[in-house]
């Protein structure tokens, strides 16, 4: 066991724009889990209070002396030294001293990381990256993020922005991205990117059963709707998912050509539609990877699923986690 014997537990908190998930973890086991909505519209204090309340609930019946610390995986840009959330667009946060506030409220050590890095730690320690030295975890959700474990260590980068794979440029004159640039990976393959693509097609009069599902209102298009339509064999939905897979395959090929990792794991909500995504992903990957470097099982599905950020942020309090 890597946790200190007198402190067998650690709390892991997944702080998202819609929900807060707190897990009382013992290694990769979640002993108790509390999920509560994120009161994002009520400001940072309300969110932090909700986190503290849920954390206390998760620790009911446990001595706080048995808890090594509180790890938080937050969707945003984090200062890893201070635990400040520098910028978190889906929480409307700017420069919130999250670690400091949680520490004051819970009287426990607190560490904060980006949620995708937390999930990467979980995958690396307990999931599809276990035992590997070079491992890439790509999270395909509303946006696209990633974590790189290279030479056995999670990569932070010079300014702590390693892993922003969603914004590599795959088409120099591609469609505009929310970041202000053009042709970013996530324009093609993220949930939001697919929704926008479908909306544009509908507005331009492309026939699709999606139109019926959203009752003629393109603004109601979601990833779920695209999945429903794909299952009904709708051509626009299928083409959108093929396109997402094609660019996923291209991005994976380029990562592989550069870094030759042992494995690349795919997670996130969009991968629930993998039956429609994988064929074009594999085809594109095989098209773009150097033939000599092509191997079986380069790409796998992430193993830790929705609890990855909880387990991974709790693992920040294991002595041997790959980020330190």
Interface ranges with a second copy (CB under 8 A): 77, 134, 146, 148, 150-153, 155-165, 167-172, 179-181, 250, 253-255, 257-263, 287-288, 290-293, 295
Phi-psi region of 77 (alpha: psi -120 to 50; beta: other; left: phi over 0): beta
Task: For residue 154, give Cα distances in angstroms to 97, 124, 157, 235, 287.
Answer: 23, 9, 9, 40, 29
Q: Report CA torsion sign: 173, 195, 91, 128.
A: negative
139 phi and psi angles, rounded to 5 deg: -110, 115
- From the CB of 57, what's the least distance to a second copy, in Å? 36
CB of 35 or CB of 293, closer to a second copy: 293
CB of 104 or CB of 290, closer to a second copy: 290
Q: Strand runs (DSSP E) across the chain, as ranges?
A: 9-15, 19-26, 29-37, 67-74, 77-79, 84-88, 93-96, 110-114, 135-140, 144-150, 153-154, 263-267, 299-301
CB of 22 or CB of 170, closer to a second copy: 170
Radius of gyration for the alpha carbons in the chain, expressed in angstroms and rounded: 20
Q: Which residues of 105-143 are buried (b: 16+ CB within 10 A; e: fewer)?
A: bbebbbbbbbbbbbbbbbbbbbbbbeebebbbbbbbbbb
CB of 25 or CB of 140, closer to a second copy: 140
- From the CB of 169, what's the least distance to a second copy, in Å? 5
Q: Strand runs (DSSP E) across 218-298, as ranges?
A: 263-267
- From the CB of 313, what's the least distance to a second copy, in Å? 21
Q: Of the candidates 182, 87, 176, 193, which has an alpha carbon nearest to the alpha carbon of residue 140?
A: 193
- From the CB of 179, what's the least distance to a second copy, in Å? 6
Six-digit token string for 324? 């330190």
- From the CB of 43, what's the least distance to a second copy, in Å? 24
Question: CA angle, 210 as apex, 209 and 213 as ends, to 5°?
Answer: 95
CB of 189 or CB of 211, closer to a second copy: 189
- From the CB of 315, what's the least distance to a second copy, in Å? 18
- From the CB of 125, what's the least distance to a second copy, in Å? 17
- From the CB of 131, what's the least distance to a second copy, in Å? 13
> How many C-beta atoms surround the C-beta of residue 218 within 10 A?
16
CB of 203 or CB of 319, closer to a second copy: 319
89 phi and psi angles, rounded to 5 deg: -60, -35
- From the CB of 291, what's the least distance to a second copy, in Å? 7
Q: Which residues of 2-14 are buried (b: 16+ CB within 10 A; e: fewer)?
A: ebeeeebbbbbbb
CB of 245 or CB of 261, closer to a second copy: 261
CB of 30 or CB of 284, closer to a second copy: 284
CB of 147 or CB of 191, closer to a second copy: 147
């Amino acid at each position: 066991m890597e946790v200190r014997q007198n402190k067998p537990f650690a709390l892991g908190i997944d702080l998202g724009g819609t929900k807060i998930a707190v897990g009382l973890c013992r290694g990769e086991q979640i002993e108790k889990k509390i999920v509560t909505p994120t009161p994002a519209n009520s400001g940072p204090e309300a969110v932090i209070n909700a986190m503290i309340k849920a954390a206390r609930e998760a620790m009911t019946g446990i001595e706080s002396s048995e808890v090594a610390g509180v790890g938080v995986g937050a969707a945003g840009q984090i200062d890893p030294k201070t635990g400040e959330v520098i910028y978190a667009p889906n929480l409307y946060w700017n420069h919130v001293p999250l670690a400091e506030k949680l520490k004051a409220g819970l009287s426990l050590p607190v560490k904060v990381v980006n949620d995708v890095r937390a999930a990467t730690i979980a995958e690396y320690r307990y999931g599809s990256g276990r035992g590997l030295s070079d491992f890439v975890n790509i999270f395909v959700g509303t946006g696209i993020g990633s974590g790189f474990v290279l030479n056995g260590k999670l990569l932070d980068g010079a300014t702590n922005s390693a892993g922003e794979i969603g914004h590599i440029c795959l088409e120099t004159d591609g469609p505009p991205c929310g970041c202000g640039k053009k042709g970013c990976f996530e324009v093609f393959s993220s949930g939001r990117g697919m929704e926008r693509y479908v909306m544009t097609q509908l507005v331009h009069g492309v026939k699709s059963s999606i139109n019926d599902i959203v009752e003629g209102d393109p603004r109601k298009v979601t990833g779920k709707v695209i999945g429903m339509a794909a299952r009904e064999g709708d051509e626009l939905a299928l083409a959108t998912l093929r396109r997402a897979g094609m660019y996923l395959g291209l991005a994976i090929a380029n990562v592989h050509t550069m870094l030759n990792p042992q494995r690349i794991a795919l997670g996130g909500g969009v991968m629930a539609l993998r039956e429609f995504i994988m064929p074009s992903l594999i085809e594109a990957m095989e098209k773009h990877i150097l033939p000599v470097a092509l191997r079986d099982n380069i790409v796998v599905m992430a193993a830790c699923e929705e609890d990855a950020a909880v387990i991974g942020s709790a693992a920040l309090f294991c002595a041997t986690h790959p980020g330190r």
